[in-house]
Structure 1
Amino acid sequence: MDGLYALKPWYTQRLRIFLERAENQGTSPDFFTAVGIFGAAAAGVSIAAGWWPLAVLWLGVRLAGANLDGAVARARKVCRPWGFALNEIGDRASDLLMFAGLAVWAASQGGPGMNWLSWPVIWVLAAALAATLPTFASLAAAGAGATRRNGGPFGKTERCLAVIVAAAAPAAIPVVGAMIIVGSVLTAALRLAAAHRELATAAA
């Protein structure tokens, strides 16, 4: 169950012009990691202000950066362990920036001023915490020698889409938050189950 992650090869193909230019010019993959973080930061600011159409654009930049860093590293044959670490840090930072923007937007929905103890804010914070579970599951499994798994059913792309929906329809924040929580727990469980099968087979 790869979810929208199954569209990654298609999206990479759409970014082919940037990939080829980076390969020809010797651009560092780390540049695209930084681009992804910048896109997430800009998206967070846009979401906090309620400018969800602009956030769609910036989250597209975020996903493009996250896609291209690995693609450029493979194309230039400069994959390295530290690049893997930077990629993970970039993805986690990008998620935090995106959810921070949504938390600000949620806090502004209760009338004048910022209501940080409102239920919408609590839902956003709970969703942000749950969103870390799939990555924890993948990294724990990879540390044990299993494949580092990505994708869905509720991965990075689904989180971006869910946050856009919540920003566009603030009344739906509790529903979207619950969906992120359930989807993230399910994704983590499926990744751990797949890793368990892989490791058990390898040990047999």
Structure 2
Amino acid sequence: MRGLYALKPWYTRRLTSIIRVAVARGLSPDVFTAVGAVSALGAGVAIAYGNWILALVLLAGRLAGANLDGAVARARGVSRPWGFVLNELGDRAGDLAMFAGLVVLAERTLDLGWGTGWATGWVLIAAVCATLPTFTSLSGAGAGAPRLNGGPFGKTERCAVVVVATAVPAWIPAVSALIVVGSVVTMLVRLRTIHRLLDAPAPVAHPAGDR
């Protein structure tokens, strides 16, 4: 159950020309990590003002940056652990900016008073729950499992539904509830996968020539 993350290879292929230019000019993958983070910050502002078209464009830029940093690193043969750290920090900053914008939009359009509205509360709960799949994946990676990404409700799905909430602010509580449920389900799916991977028996080494 990979959700919209299954479209990542297709999306990366659409960005092939950018990858070629980056390789030809020796651009650092960190440039694209920064582009993704800046796009996410801009998207947060667009969300706060209810501009869903600009939010859509900038969140697409965020996803493009997240795709390109790894793709360029692999194409140039410069993948490194520090790049992984920067990518994770950029993703977390992007989520924070997106939800901060949604909090402002909820206050402006539904609650009309800072800290007093139930819609804002739903967004804050959603923001916390959205971290659960990532914490689960990083915990598994720390124990030796692969870093899991994707659905059923991952980063791409979060971006998509936040754009919907930006376009129709009255749906912010419902969208927030969807993020809560989807994030918890994704966490459980990843936990099950990590448990299976970590509990898999190690392959038995056979002596040379033993068939």
- Specify the alignment match of 1:106 in structure 2: 106
Percent identity for Structure 1 against Structure 2: 61
- Specify the alignment match of 1:38 in structure 2: 38
- Bigger mean CA deviation after superposition, 102-111 or 64-73: 102-111
- Specify the alignment match of 2:8 in structure 1: 8
- Specify the alignment match of 1:158 in structure 2: 157
**Alpha-carbon deviation of 1:171?**
1.0
CA–CA distance in 1 between the matches of 2:79 and 2:72?
A: 9
- Specify the alignment match of 2:188 in structure 1: 189
Q: Which structure would you say has the larger Rg?
A: 2
Letter in 1 for 2:132: L
Cα distance change of structure 1 residues 80 and 202 upon mapping to structure 2, 3 Å threshold: farther
Q: 1:6-29 CA distances to partner (integer Å, 9 max, x unpaired)?
A: 000000011111111001101000
- 1:53 equivalent to 2:57? Answer no
- Specify the alignment match of 2:207 in structure 1: none
CA–CA distance in 2 between the matches of 1:173 and 1:73?
A: 37
TM-score (norm 1): 0.97
CA–CA distance in 2 between the matches of 1:98 and 1:132?
A: 13
Structure 1: segments with no counterpart, 5+ residues: none
CA–CA distance in 1 between the matches of 2:19 and 2:116?
A: 44
How many residue pairs match? The answer is: 203
- Specify the alignment match of 2:206 in structure 1: none
Cα distance change of structure 1 residues 174 and 110 upon mapping to structure 2, 3 Å threshold: closer
The residue correspondences of 1:58-137 to structure 2 (distance < 5 A) are 58-110=58-110, 114-137=113-136
CA–CA distance in 2 between the matches of 1:27 and 1:119?
A: 46
Letter in 2 for 1:40: A
Letter in 2 for 1:146: A
Letter in 1 for 2:75: A
Q: 1:15-62 CA distances to partner (integer Å, 9 max, x unpaired)?
A: 111111001101000000000001001110001011111110111111
- Root-mean-square deviation over aligned CA pairs: 1.2
Letter in 2 for 1:174: P
**Alpha-carbon deviation of 1:109?**
1.4
Letter in 2 for 1:108: R
CA–CA distance in 1 between the matches of 2:87 and 2:40?
A: 14
Q: 1:118-165 CA distances to partner (integer Å, 9 max, x unpaired)?
A: 111111111010000000000000000011100000001000001111
- Specify the alignment match of 2:209 in structure 1: none
Letter in 2 for 1:168: A
> Deviating runs (4+, > 6 A) in structure 1?
none
> 2:110·2:119 contact (CA, 8 Å) conserved in 1?
no
CA–CA distance in 2 between the matches of 1:180 and 1:59?
A: 17
- Specify the alignment match of 1:172 in structure 2: 171
CA–CA distance in 2 between the matches of 1:176 and 1:108?
A: 17
CA–CA distance in 2 between the matches of 1:117 and 1:133?
A: 26
Letter in 1 for 2:92: R
Letter in 2 for 1:13: R
TM-score (norm 2): 0.93
**Alpha-carbon deviation of 1:203?**
5.2
